[in-house]
Amino acid sequence: MVDPSSCGLVSKSPRAKRIEWEHVVPASYFGKQFVEWRKGDVSCTGRATRGRECARRASPAFRQIESDMYNLVPAVGELNRARGDSSYGIIPGEPREFGACDFETFSKITEPRPEIRGDIARIYFYMDVRYPQFQIVNSMNQNMLEEWAEADPIDQAEATRLQKIEDIQGNSFFIGRLAKLAQGGKNMTQRH
């Protein structure tokens, strides 16, 4: 369970008290490649004539990717808002905007706390292998993600989460390069 007070979160926003489902790989990363997101669709009328709402309404493929449970994690609403659709990375200087919470965001980059970086990296690798047409892992982020995955190996909480999702969703997280992890290997550099 996510507890906003566990890290000393300081915020006056009502979203600081709310838990939301966050896409680790932002929906815009893959959504903008759908024509329904960019240009709309005849089935989309009213305010949401394009963008996420239209893609959700008009594209079964978008709905499948958007709802992939491996890419969804609970997050404090205020931190979800601050992250938006920014990329993950390292921010020099550790500027703390949210009290003692180890969460920084600056100039479209978000730096997660070290103990979840491997989880994030593995989700990126999963999404990249599961949905290769979107090239989620690329030359800009691959080395960082590999380092994060190695520095923060799968722990019991992550393994339990992955097993529960597999039981519900019906597909394994350990595909492609992630299969090496299931066999005890550490090499994440293998492309699909």
Given this model, what pLDDT does residue 100 score?
Answer: 73
User: Residue 47 pLDDT more than 80?
Assistant: no
* Number of residues that this document lists for the chain: 192
Q: Which of 4-13, 61-70, 103-112 has the highest mean pLDDT?
A: 61-70
Q: Where are the beta strands (DSSP E) in 61-148?
A: 72-76, 87-88, 104-106, 109-111
> Considering the chain, what percentage of its residues have pLDDT values greater than 70?
85
Listed residue (107, 108, 139, 106) closest to 26, CA to CA: 108
- Whether the CB-CB separation of 14 and 103 falls below 8 Å is answered with no
165 vs 26, 75, 169, CA distance in Å? 19, 17, 6
User: Residue 25 pLDDT more than 90?
Assistant: yes
- Whether the CB-CB separation of 127 and 25 falls below 8 Å is answered with yes
Say how far apart CA 75 and CA 108 lie, in whole Å: 18
pTM of the prediction? 0.88
Given this model, what pLDDT does residue 191 score?
Answer: 46
Cα dihedral across residues 144, 74, 130, 86: positive or negative: negative
| CA geometry: angle 102, 3, 97, nearest 5 deg | 30
Say how far apart CA 25 and CA 27 lie, in whole Å: 6
Query: Which neighbouring-strand residues pair with 110?
Result: 88, 105
Say how far apart CA 113 and CA 101 lie, in whole Å: 9
- pLDDT, tens digit, 9 for 90 and up, residues 107-160: 899 999 899 999 999 999 999 999 999 999 999 999 999 999 999 999 999 999
User: Residue 180 pLDDT more than 70?
Assistant: no
